[in-house]
Chain A
Amino acid sequence: MCDNDHRRWNHLKKILERSSPFCHPDFEPGTGILEFLQNSCKLLVVGAGGLGCELLKDLAMMGFGDVHVIDMDTIDLSNLNRQFLFRRKDVNSSKAEVAAKFINERVPTCRVTPHHCKIQDKSEDFYRNFHFVVCGLDSVVARRWINGMLISLLSYDDNQQLDNSTVIPLIDGGTEGFKGNVRVIIPGITPCIDCTLDLFPPQVTYPLCTIASTPRLPEHCIEYVKLIQWPKENPFDSNIDTDDPVHISWIYEKSLERADEFGINGVNYRLVQGVIKNIIPAVASTNAVIAAACVTEAFKVATSCCPLLNNYAVFNNADGIYTYTYEAERKSDCITCSPRKAKYLDIDDTNMRLEKIIEILCEHQQYQMKNPALTIELDGKRKTLYMPNVPSIELKTRPNLKMTLEQLGIADGCKLLVADITNPRAFEIILKIKNNCVSME
């Protein structure tokens, strides 16, 4: 057994315990690295679908020992053709839980911990725990959320130097039919998802008036039922559940009626499903290729053995095999990752009134604002402190001006969101309060 264990990782050891001309110049080979991979390195896989199954399998077999997986979905019969960690009996069970169980039983060196929930249900403290994150998602929104979360975890010292220990790399895989891409994102250093948003194909939207009065395509008819007929007739007293066949059937029938009315051909159940769920065809082999590339990058991120993918690779095997890697550029005004230097405001104590804070922002050498609007997050809920330019809110928030920070519940370290015409963007200011009554209570 011991001998087997030893041999099992022989190939990895050849890479991790020896130097080579192809290594990264900073790479220091040693026995500790494999140990790190198997015991200390903790990573998160986002998504346990087509890509996720491949990722988990590859990660387990590459020696990773502490893998978490998060996915809110349950297994659908139609997943079984490519999501190979699932069986017929698993239909309707949690993808994350079934995938974790499968890997744990099959690969004893790997412990997968499932999280059957939305990514948004987890806090910063959850995400902060990981050394890096691998994404196998089919949604741009979810990608952007993870991206935003990892960037929000970055911290900078007083000289605006990035604290490297707060950097959690993100390896992002995506597939669509025969096409796929892999990218490596080092938050705060290399371009983020939002820097390159224009690389994502825009979602097809049809003008509402076309859908309503001059439909020409089967898609127009389906969109009509989804956007206009459903909210109007509300057939099941609920929003559309894209996984409920009864809902899809209703939409299908109504779409067909509408298509007949306008003499349009081509509405069928599959198309309805496709339009409503925004389904893109999945090709198992594309998932395998992209996942393999992601996990190779994961291995390099964890061990520093070779230079990382820099930083965006595309793959297309629709017509032969085509791959191309290029360096996407960071957007200097990226709304998410552009070096928004942490801004601070020194306040003497929490007995100061809100109006005084506004006065300081207007007179402060660094800020010199004109008419700032202020909001803040307290107990996980956003609160409007003052908004001078919107009459109805101004009236309701005016009493706040006379209140002290303490009365408003504002303590040292709170982030004020400030919008003012003197700045092209709203930004946050961290309050540094010397005499902090609130936290002393």
Chain B
Amino acid sequence: MIKLYSLKQHKKDGETPKSGNQRKASAAHLRITKDLNELTLPKTCTTEFPDPDDLLNFKLTICPDEGSYKGGKFNFSFKVGVNYPHEPPKVKCETTVYHPNIDLDGNVCLNILREDWKPVLTINSVIYGLQYLFLEPNPEDPLNKEAADVLQNNKRLFDMNVQKAMRGGVIGNTYFEKCLK
């Protein structure tokens, strides 16, 4: 048992311990450094760090090389919080995209970004998850219901809409900016 009463008598006279003079890195910093140094990006993805000293905020670009979104270029922002990896990173799509699982404000419906997040998952897992969304858009879990309905009922029309949106055009009431690679 630690006897505070007797211990602290000499703590008073003693000076501050030497090795405690520099703050320990936070768990989030330890983990994100590890995650980033071990990123194995699919060849369709690149990352960009506006401030290389700030590993907690960065951008991801996905340029799908197959599927409906082939030829497009989509930007995402990642914000990693102090509670990482106990909380998932916050990810937003910064390109307006015609996609059943991404709404027009950039919210992304990917299970591991919310309800299925686990601390063992990494930035890599999220990037692969995002990439997969472009290969296999999922009409069952829609965030953009119009796009989901079209995908479910008429895949050809869906593909045409995607192409139109990526070239820059209006679908429904929404204008999509050109996002070709």
Contact = CB atoms under 8 A, between A and B. Distances in A.
Interface of A: 24, 26, 32-33, 36, 40-41, 124-125, 128, 131-132, 141, 144, 148, 152-156, 163-167, 169, 186, 189, 194, 197, 205-209, 212-213, 227-228, 231-232, 301-304, 307-308, 335-336, 342, 371-373, 375, 377, 380-384, 387-393, 396-397, 413-415, 417, 419-421, 425-428, 430
Contact of B53 (A372, A384, A428): A384
Interface stretch (B16-24, B163-171, B172-180): B16-24
Contacts of A163: 17
Contacts of A308: 1
Contacts of B162: none
Nearest to B108: A208
A317 to B, nearest CB: 30
Given A213-B145, A381-B53, A389 B22 contact: no
B18 A413 contact: yes
Given A209-B101, A377-B25, A387-B36, A430 B19 contact: yes
B52 A164 contact: no
Interface centre among B7, B111, B148 (most CB of A within 10 A): B7
A304 B1 contact: yes
A383 B49 CA distance: 13
Given A169-B4, A384-B52, A377 B14 contact: no
20 contacts: A33-B5, A40-B8, A131-B4, A148-B26, A148-B27, A155-B20, A165-B17, A166-B20, A206-B115, A208-B143, A212-B103, A212-B143, A373-B37, A375-B33, A384-B53, A391-B46, A392-B49, A396-B49, A413-B22, A419-B38
A232 B105 contact: yes
Size category, B interface: 35 or more
B83 interface: yes
Contact of A164 (B7, B49, B55, B145): B7
A340 B27 CA distance: 13
Interface in B98-117: 101, 103, 105, 107-109, 111, 113-115
Binding site secondary structure of chain A: mixed
Given A389-B37, A428-B24, A207 B107 contact: no
Contacts of B52: 384, 387, 392-393, 396-397
Contacts of B105: 228, 231-232
A392 B47 contact: yes
A419 B37 contact: yes
B40 to A, nearest CB: 9
A212 B46 CA distance: 29
B87 to A, nearest CB: 9
Nearest to B35: A419
Contacts of B86: 144, 197
B7 A413 contact: no
Given A212-B109, A392-B48, 5 more contacts: A155-B20, A156-B19, A381-B53, A392-B47, A396-B52
Given A148-B26, A155-B20, A383 B53 contact: yes
Contact of B37 (A186, A194, A388, A415): A388
Closest CB pairs A-B (n = 6): A373-B37, A209-B141, A152-B24, A155-B17, A209-B109, A426-B34
